[in-house]
Amino acid sequence: MTSEFEFIDRLRMRLPSATDDQVWIGDDAAVLENGQLFATDVLVEGVHFDLAWCDAAAVGWKALAVNVSDIAAMGGSPTAAVVSVVVPPGGGPLADDLGAGLAEASEVFGCALVGGDTSTGPALVVSVAILGTSPAAGAVLRSGARAGDAVFVTGTLGSPAAALDALETGEVPVPEGAARLHRPVPRLGEGAAAADAGATSMIDISDGLAADLGHIAGQSGVGVRVDADWIPREPDVPLAVALRGGDDYELCFTAPDPMQVGDAFLSRRLSPPTRIGEIVAARSEASAPSDLVLVVEGQSTPWPTGSWEHELD
Ligand code: ADP
Ligand code: MG
């Protein structure tokens, strides 16, 4: 079996490395000349959405929103996007609804839709590529976390995954969770505030907190200690879902000075992020799974694994 990440690693080995001042494969967005950000994300019918559970306008909205979220995760601002759409036979009205959702999101997120491509095919697919600008101090990468930094997350975690669980088992999802699943709102202001506050690393939570904070630890070469009691979640969301669920599109970031973080969010009138733990030194040079610790009721437990990852064969 080849997993998504094995494929990406093998592809990366075939390609030249990024120049010293740029970041290519491996972060939420690539960082190009002059800090220009460039990212893409695709939504596939039957894999990322089911039209029995949401309308095509929501799919259009989400396609742009998840791309904007990758720009937010660098502390950046979106500038322009292009969109490719594959429409199944007889899908004209569907495509129009999709376009309405894309146009709405474009206006709300201040990201111009400047082109794209359209084809027919066996299922509805929408792929967006997005450009953005870096914050003044430079894009916030996944690789900058340092021992002693505090770990923060915005919003609450797990509600969209809980809503998806409900839909998959034929139950009625909590409306707020379903709204967040189908029409996520990327945390642009929060990403910029974190960058202002000296964030050392950041990622958007698309594959679940455990996996995504794991990427920060791995790419920064550090360990992490998170207290399960501090993870913000709605009362109906089990801890396991808040840790492993995907589709949150909240931000997880690290920063050395919690006061500065509080001030940056307050001055932008944003709800303060929740401090959930700290970055610790890895025991060896490369961060290993044993360097990640979840504290449950005062006891150190192994880091949760088994989050969402596409299998390619
Ligand atoms: P995210 O969840 O932030 O969208 P992914 O987990 O999808 O990030 O991807 C991880 C990294 O691998 C990103 O830097 C992305 O650009 C890169 N990547 C993913 N798929 C491909 C691909 N087919 N070709 C090149 N790079 C890829
Ligand atoms: Mg991302």
pLDDT value of position 54: 97
Report the pLDDT value the prediction gives residue 286, as an integer from 0 to 100: 76
pLDDT given at position 311: 67
Distance (angstroms) between ligand 2 centre and the Cα of 89 equals: 32
Which position has the token pair 């206006």? 107
Sequence letter at residue 282: A
Q: Which of 3, 4, 6, 8 to mutate for ligand 1's pocket (most ligand atoms within 8 Å of CB)?
A: 8
- Residue whose CA lies nearest to ligand 1 atom number 20: 8
Looking at residue 290, its pLDDT comes to: 85
Which ligand 1 atom is the nearest neighbour of the CA of 73?
A: 3
Residues lining ligand 1, judged by CB closer than 6 Å?
Answer: 8, 11, 25-28, 41, 70, 206
- Say which ligand is closest to the CA of 129: 1
Q: Evaluate whether 282 touches 291 at the Cβ level (below 8 Å).
A: yes
- What residue's CA is closest to ligand 1, atom 14? 26
Would you state the pLDDT for residue 308? 55
Give me the tens of pLDDT residue by residue for the chain, a chain 313 residues long: 789 999 999 999 999 999 999 999 999 999 999 999 999 999 999 999 999 999 999 999 999 999 999 999 999 999 999 999 999 999 999 999 999 999 999 999 999 999 999 999 999 999 999 999 999 999 999 999 999 999 999 999 999 999 999 999 999 999 999 999 999 999 999 999 999 999 999 999 999 999 999 999 999 999 999 999 999 999 999 999 999 989 999 999 999 999 999 999 999 999 999 999 999 999 887 778 889 999 999 999 999 986 556 666 6
* Centroid of chain to Cα 112: 21
Helix, strand or coil, per DSSP, at residue 117: strand
How would DSSP label each residue in 230-284?
GS---TTS-HHHHHH------EEEEES-HHHHHHHHHHTT-PPPEEEEEEEE-SS
**Which residue's C-alpha comes closest to atom 21 of ligand 1?**
8
Angle at 247 between CA 246 and CA 252, to 5 degrees: 80
pLDDT at residue 309, as a whole number: 60
Task: Show the CA angle centred on residue 172, arms to residues 167 and 174, nearest 5°.
Answer: 100
pTM of the model: 0.96
